Chain A
Amino acid sequence: MATFLLRRLGLMVLTLWLLTLIVFFAGQILPGDPARATLGNLAAPSAVKALDHQLGVDRPLLDRYGSWLGGLLHGNLGTSYAYQSAVEPFIRAALINSIKLAALAFVIVVPLGILGGVIAALYSGRTLDRIISVTGLSLSTVPEFVSGIVLLVVFGVELKWLPVTASAGANASVGQQFRHLILPAIPLVFVLFGYIARMARAGTIDVLNSDYTRTAILKGLPRTTVIRRHVLRNSLLPTITVIATQTGYLIGGLVVVETLFNYQGLGNLIYKAAVAHDFPMLEAGVLIIGIVYVVATLIADLLLTWLNPRLRIGGSR
């Protein structure tokens, strides 16, 4: 177990390091001079040069990567070009907002997705299964802004049941915030439902075809008992991985939903930073998303290993 843990942690550190390389050098290929973007077209060339020097962007590339990485290791995410202040408070506030939205979407989609997947598996190959599978897959490929628009038109504009913006204002109660977040959360639920249902279905079908399920049925256990005690306990393991890997998407892939509903989350922050050529903000935001994904994957791996002794010992099936 200890060596397994060490190996996983080592791989995680390696992935994170590659991630910093990708994020940093992807940031460098973005065109435009940050000082020019900050000062505007009318600024004197000497002022632009001075600000470039002050921001440090006239130093060699590797030099800048070194100091950026050094800063990261000390918990310093950098200084925003556009705001001329530390990136960290912006990222923190946006991350908290994104987590609120993501958490609501998760709470709705996880039970729904698992239920849908298990039902599809029990009716495998029949009409109900095809309906659930195809609907799930279609919903997951329809862009969030498309479902978001339809929801906005129906529930926000025509029926006026729910507010059309995601931000409830500064002093809103938890209940008000919740009301504002329902509409933005539903497109995310749509996108995720197909994935979770698909995994739950695959896992359940695997277990339904196993010898021990056949034994349980043949020894005369009622169908509900077989499903509840023998099938579900084993079939939902792979689903944990899917749910974990979706956190990366949920925290970061929110660009569209957050733009559509005008919500100050991480996706929106990254979008605005890219448009404004605010590299430190952009790099920090993208890196945070990557870290969330990598850490969530690690937690899922550990959870799976803990729940499944066969993996812990390292044997094969």
Chain B
Amino acid sequence: MSVPADPVDPVAPDLSGGYLGASGAAAVAVASRGTPARWQLLLRRPTFYVGAGILLFWVVCAVFGYMFAPYSPLAQQLLFSNAAPSAAHWFGTDPLGRDVLSRVITGSRDILIITPLATVIGTVLGTILGLAMGYFGGVFDAVASRLVEAILALPFVIIAFLFVVAVGRSLVGITVIIGLVFTPLIARTVRAAVLVERSMDYVPSARLLGEKPGRVMFGEILPNVLPAILVEFTVRLGYAVFALATLSFLGFGIAPPTPDWGADISANYIGLPAGYWWQTLFPALAIATLVTAVILIADAIEQVLAS
């Protein structure tokens, strides 16, 4: 059951988690010993351009959305409730007569603040834990691995959901919780990459030179596993969007009336049988495009690092 150590199991596989997994992370870590010129290859990848373009679009919406949205996302026009898409309201209106287009544009703000922060928290903590597990090994690694595995036995949406119920839904709370939920997942990937690095000559050399464990871990090993961490970060960012949108949909994410895609879908999907498809379809497409953009960028980075 010690998945990462299993020789025929190249990817630590689970839905909540492994993307690269053991040998994937190792492959990226090894393959990426190269010059910075490698990064220029990224600019030759069409998937990178498409992904970056879509992401840039949503970043612009998040920063300037309140300025160029045609209506206020909170302005209610009860006389125009549930209006179908028209020239005045391109995406129609919701049951309170609010403009769906404006809510979709401004709904990008909170999601683009919370998800990168949460992913950074998870990546930093997961990297520290994974480095320590891979470097020290022994009892510490065995105990930590068991714990990580026990936590991974539960779907991460359920863990996140339980914690949000416990601490209440503040923006800070949600950010920290998503970050903490990602920590064991990232730790597992980093640990696998560190195990590969540790078998290389430079690690014992550094030790023989009298470097302290902290210096070996962060000064010697970390730079070499950084590309694997970068890929993991990008993929995790996609899952952070997934997690936040799901929490919002379940009613434990961003609180109304703040515009939010997941919460708007949750509030309006009961209108589907009545034919008010625009109230849910457009926020749904917004989530799908944002996630796809992040995944396209992640895929381009991974392709470049593996080439």
**Which A residues from 250 to 306 make CB contacts under 8 A with B?**
252-253, 255-256, 259-260, 267, 270-271, 274-275, 282, 286, 289-290, 293-294, 297-298, 301, 304
- Contact across chains for A157 and B275 when beta carbons are under 8 A apart: yes
Mark each residue of chain A from 174 to 207: 1 if its CB lies under 8 Å from any CB of chain B, else 0: 0000000000000000011001001100110010
Shortest C-beta distance, B278 to chain A (Å), equals: 9
Chain A residues with CB under 8 Å of B146's CB are: 11, 14-15, 18
Chain B residues with CB under 8 Å of A242's CB are: 11, 13-14
Chain B residues with CB under 8 Å of A286's CB are: 154, 158, 162
Asked whether B112 is an interface residue with its Cβ less than 8 Å from the other chain, the reply is no
Asked whether B97 is an interface residue with its Cβ less than 8 Å from the other chain, the reply is no
Chain A residues with CB under 8 Å of B2's CB are: 11
Cα of A114 to Cα of B11 in the assembled complex, Å = 15
State the interface size on chain A (CB cutoff 8 A). 76
Interface residues of A, dominant DSSP:
helix
Interface residues of B, dominant DSSP:
helix
Asked whether B80 is an interface residue with its Cβ less than 8 Å from the other chain, the reply is no
Shortest C-beta distance, A204 to chain B (Å), equals: 12
Chain A residues with CB under 8 Å of B157's CB are: 253, 255-256
Cα of A76 to Cα of B265 in the assembled complex, Å = 39
Asked whether A77 is an interface residue with its Cβ less than 8 Å from the other chain, the reply is no
Chain B residues with CB under 8 Å of A203's CB are: 10
Could you give 30 example pairs across A and B, Cβ below 8 Å? A11-B146, A18-B150, A134-B47, A134-B299, A141-B294, A142-B242, A142-B288, A143-B249, A143-B262, A145-B249, A146-B288, A157-B275, A157-B277, A164-B273, A192-B15, A198-B11, A202-B24, A203-B10, A238-B11, A249-B14, A253-B16, A256-B250, A260-B269, A267-B158, A275-B165, A289-B153, A289-B154, A290-B153, A298-B1, A301-B1
**Interfacial residues, chain A to chain B (CB-CB below 8 A):** 8, 11-12, 14-15, 18-19, 22-23, 26, 29-31, 130, 133-134, 137-138, 140-147, 149-150, 152-153, 156-158, 164, 191-192, 195, 198-199, 202-203, 206, 237-238, 241-242, 245-246, 248-249, 252-253, 255-256, 259-260, 267, 270-271, 274-275, 282, 286, 289-290, 293-294, 297-298, 301, 304, 308, 310-311, 316-317
